[in-house]
Amino acid sequence: MARDSSRTIKPITPEGRGRVDAALEKFGLLLVQGQWEIPSIADLLEGAPITTRGYSYDYVPAWNLREELCSRPDIALCKLFRGKSTLVHQRHWPLIDSIARMAQRGVCAGRGGDLARVMYEVIKAKPGIAGENLKKRLELTGKEGTARFRRAKSDLESWLAIVGTEAEEGDGRGHTHDQRWQVWAEGKIARGVTAAHGEVTLLEAADALMKLTYPQGLPAKVPPMKKLYPLLALLA
């Protein structure tokens, strides 16, 4: 279905931007859209929940602000919270990097399954490999192969084992729908952590992430932390 080019995209208001800045200061983590335990850019800009499913012009201001914020040196994007695109402020990078590196060892040990382990090893050996080439190297064909590929790739992203960037045409004419993949160590967060930092235990990691998620104290019911932060499932 063709998109309605006549739809008006709402401008980003000073009030909406102020709400985003305040939430980023409070949490250091923001979703792009959706209603979960941490706020989203889309809802903050609107001043109310946006519940539209799929592509919607309602989300365009949030997508635009996401790109603007992620161009800053102190903001990075990864699939941290519930496996969804999460903006992470630089003050949390050492913690996230420490947990991510421990999760990657879990991937290499096979705790995420054989396909995820092999996919990670291929990406590590071939940094910047395009998704289609990665799929061919893993010999994943047909609908079942495509489904397995997407599932393993999504898992590796949510475990912070790999990071993707949009692939460009060979002559630089524009973007494709494919992505190029690298291991976590080549991403913005890992490369931005310059000071040595110690490792944390599973309990320490869960406790630290819980405090980020609920800065004002725990609610009556708290979902399992491994559901909120999938990479915790890879820690020993």
Q: Is residue 156 part of a domain?
A: yes
Q: Is residue 162 part of a domain?
A: yes
Which H or E run includes 209?
Answer: helix 202-213
CATH code, 191:
1.10.10.10
Evaluate if residue 167 carries a pLDDT over 90.
no
Q: Is residue 45 part of a domain?
A: no
Global pTM? 0.90
Q: Is 4 exposed, middle or buried (0-12, 13-18, 19+ CB in 10 A)?
A: exposed
Q: Is residue 163 part of a domain?
A: yes
Q: Is residue 221 part of a domain?
A: no
Domain extent at residue 146? 95-198
Task: Give pLDDT, residue 2.
Answer: 47
Q: Is residue 146 part of a domain?
A: yes
Q: Is residue 140 part of a domain?
A: yes
- How far is Cα 168 from Cα 25, in angstroms, rounded to an integer? 34
- Looking at the structure of the chain, the number of domains it has is 1
Q: Is residue 37 part of a domain?
A: no
Quick: pLDDT tens for 88-145.
999 999 999 999 999 999 999 999 999 999 999 999 999 999 999 999 999 999 999 9
Return mean pLDDT, the chain: 92
198-232 as b/e: b if 16+ CB within 10 A: eebebeebbebbeebbeeeeeeeeeeebeebbbbb
| Residue whose C-alpha is closest to residue 181's, from 120, 97, 114 | 120
Task: Give pLDDT, residue 51.
Answer: 92
